[in-house]
Structure 1
Amino acid sequence: MKYSFAIILLLFVSSAFAQRIYKEKKLIQFSGLITDVDSNGVVPYVTVTNLSYNDQKYAANYKGFFSFIAHPGDSILYTAVGYKDFVYVLQPEIEDSKYTAMIRLKSEIINLPMVRVYPWATVEEFTREFLAMKVADDDYVIAAKNLSQHSLSGMIRTLPRDGGEISNSNYRMNHDRSLNKNMVQTNPLLNPFAWGKLMQTIFKGDQSRSADN
């Protein structure tokens, strides 16, 4: 009787211990989508770290989707460049073997200090370059040189016409063609009035020459 009771107690303890181990080691397929909390756009290539399981790392794809094996109650860390770190804790009691979640990351804005880059390596090099520098004229003198007649004439001779000038010239030529397309150009040699004016001019010239003589 004692042996039977001991065997039953041993089986009961073993069963309870096995159920406890089973619950502690239960595995689930954890999947989800990572998006931006402000724009709702997906965040690609996020690093996913299981802090509760030897810091095992995973990576989301270019669409922000991830899927890996985890345990209920695990703490999952999400890190990405330009976003604040986010820790998501799985529920300790998950009945199903699959679990999905929508992960939202907050963008992190870092104001970097202003950096001014100088082209001189040392102060001595700057002093040497400054002393050798040719100081330019002031703005008024430069403007007067640019607007002088000599400068404008040189630019007129050398600079090609821009798009606006070519467009205006083409517009005027097309306008003149449209106005004169129905007009017939006459030959002045066939115009009797032109011949009469020419003869009158010749007669007046002969009369003036005879009067002078």
Structure 2
Amino acid sequence: MKKFLLYFLLLSAPYAVHAQFDKLKDSVVQFYGVIMTADSLKAIPAVSVVVKGRNQGTFSNDQGVFSMVVLKGDEIEFTSVGYKPVLYKIQDTVRDNQISVIQLLVVDAQYLPATVIAARPTREQFERDFINTKVPDDNIEIARQNNDAAKRRILSRSLPANSAEAASTFLRQSAQRYYYNGQAPPQNIFNPLAWADFIQAWKRGDFRNN
């Protein structure tokens, strides 16, 4: 029995190899054609014709003609600098083993921003622009400006009171309230010292909106 099976396999092997060869031969396609511009129908040389997903391809010659062997079901990509890429699909239902195409490529227009070319500035113009150029302040200059008296007053009004200042203010208000407990507190509108403090604060700009 084993000898019979071995003999049968030896006899059927050439037929299996032949069937696989016929199947592979039927799937091979000679793909060729010419690549031209879509607007003027001029031949485009050096166009890359590559099978997508497989390291296989070719280039078009000076007349835009190309030729390569592909398989049914392959996707062929045409790419060239200055043109939009095109993808061509080899259908599985193709009966012939040769396919010829006239592939048109559309120009990929890309507009660059306008460049203004100006004359070289004179020495006087360079010196004027160099002097009037605003140089940003460094950390030392920023620290010096923050230590200015007017700047410190502005910053002090925006800072919240710490615990010692809050406690001191609360104690002063409580002492004043207890001092005038049971009687009306005096009105500072008739106090010349209060008016003097108000005038000084007005001159300093304490009531100015920032």
TM range (shorter): 0.3 to 0.5
TM-score (norm 1): 0.46
Larger radius of gyration: 1
Q: What is the TM-score of this pair, normalised by structure 2?
A: 0.47
